Amino acid sequence: MAEPLLRVESLRVELPTRRGVLTALDDVSFTIAAGEVLGIVGESGAGKSVTGAAIIGLLEPPLRIAGGRISLAGRRIDNLPYNAMRAIRGKKIGAIFQDPLTSLNPLYTIGQQLVETIRTHLNLSAAAARDRALALLSEVGIAGADERIDHYPHQFSGGMRQRIVISLAIAANPQLIIADEPTTALDVSIQAQILALLRRLCRDHGTAVMLITHDIGVIAETAHRVAVMYSGRIVEIGAVRDIVANPRHPYTCGLMSSIPRIGGSRDRLRQVEGAMPRLDEFPPGCAFNPRCPETVERCRLERPHLLPTGTSAVACWLYDEALMQAEAVVDG
């Protein structure tokens, strides 16, 4: 198997506070292949954004990487010095964030911001850079780019601004884009357009995407694979079709069944009772066990790690049990 574009192994991110050291990410491992869209889904505070920030090297202090490795195209990047990481940012790994309004500097025209980014990574003259900027704007669907390139961010609508943000992120043709809630701040109709744009760009340029969101619908529409995060850990990971149709982890099951479906029953939506534990209040064993409807004794004692089940993996003792039982049957 070819080396995946991005490999994250046992990533651990800690947050030192005056009450002690809290764990924001614990033993997070996954890979992203070139051109693949991996969705990262979970509640607020599950650690999705922290994962993205860690990969691109923009963790806000006092958050810090405390263990594990991150490798890009086989090269380790989590321990690089600032300047080496800076060369990667924008050029190999790009990022887009949630709020397009605050992502753009209000005092510069979008042309100025584009040209600056282009010339930082590519050795082009001002005129050539401007041409490339125009091409990028057309590619993301901004009509009348010749004129609009000299406008300021506040002169664009929300959806247009997000397109500009995307154009800035792909300006230097990175291999991987980390998209942190790219459509959350947009109207539903615009969401669809932006997602379609992302899909098209990835196909055309072969860019991989790490799509972070709390909205499973977005994942189902856009991603190839998905990782479900809970309390800083990945609890299930696999192909989107697989997970959506056949969720295994009790949390994932809860997530899926809380989505209203057209033609589904008219009863109340099932909710997952309780709330995600605070960083300083982790229960022993599996983080989900207080809310889980199907716990066994082991859940409260030992943290489950990712166990393979066919083409996906689940971090849940229920599936280990099943395997063991199956083996027991086979053996004896």
Binding region for another protein (CB under 8 A): 18, 56, 58, 86-91, 94-97, 99, 102-108, 116-117, 120-121, 142-144, 148, 151-152, 154-160, 165, 168-169, 171-172, 186-187, 189-190, 193, 281
User: Buried b vs exposed e over 129-161: b needs ≥16 C-beta within 10 Å?
Assistant: bbebbbebbebbbbeebeebbebebeebeebbb
The CA-based angle 71-75-79, given to 5 degrees, is 70
Q: Which CB atom, from 60 or from 297, has the smaller least distance to another protein? A: 60
* Nearest by Cα to 229 from 7, 24, 15: 24
Q: How far is the CB of 201 from another protein (least distance, A)?
A: 16
Q: How far is the CB of 165 from another protein (least distance, A)?
A: 7
Q: How far is the CB of 105 from another protein (least distance, A)?
A: 4
Q: Which CB atom, from 270 or from 278, has the smaller least distance to another protein? A: 278
Q: Which CB atom, from 57 or from 250, has the smaller least distance to another protein? A: 57
For CA atoms 115, 117, 118, 122, the dihedral sign is positive
Q: How far is the CB of 267 from another protein (least distance, A)?
A: 31
Q: Which CB atom, from 50 or from 96, has the smaller least distance to another protein? A: 96
Q: How far is the CB of 95 from another protein (least distance, A)?
A: 4
Q: Tokens 């066919």 map to which residue?
A: 310
For CA atoms 256, 260, 265, 270, the dihedral sign is positive
CA 172 to chain centre: 20
Backbone angles phi and psi of 171, in degrees to 5: -50, -40
Distance CA 75, CA 39 (A): 23
Q: Which CB atom, from 154 or from 261, has the smaller least distance to another protein? A: 154
Q: How far is the CB of 71 from another protein (least distance, A)?
A: 19
Q: How far is the CB of 127 from another protein (least distance, A)?
A: 20
Q: Which CB atom, from 77 or from 186, has the smaller least distance to another protein? A: 186
Q: How far is the CB of 190 from another protein (least distance, A)?
A: 4
- Which residues is 89 bridged to in the sheet? 93
For CA atoms 277, 279, 281, 286, the dihedral sign is positive
Q: Which CB atom, from 20 or from 263, has the smaller least distance to another protein? A: 20
Q: Is 314 helix (H, G, I), strand (E, B) or coil?
A: strand
Give Dmax (Cα) for the chain: 76
Q: Which CB atom, from 168 or from 244, has the smaller least distance to another protein? A: 168
Distance CA 209, CA 220 (A): 14
Q: Which CB atom, from 95 or from 226, has the smaller least distance to another protein? A: 95
DSSP assignment letter at 236: E
* Nearest by Cα to 215 from 263, 179, 239: 179
For CA atoms 255, 195, 223, 98, the dihedral sign is negative
Distance CA 208, CA 33 (A): 7
Torsion angle (degrees, nearest 10) of CA 167, 170, 171, 173: -160
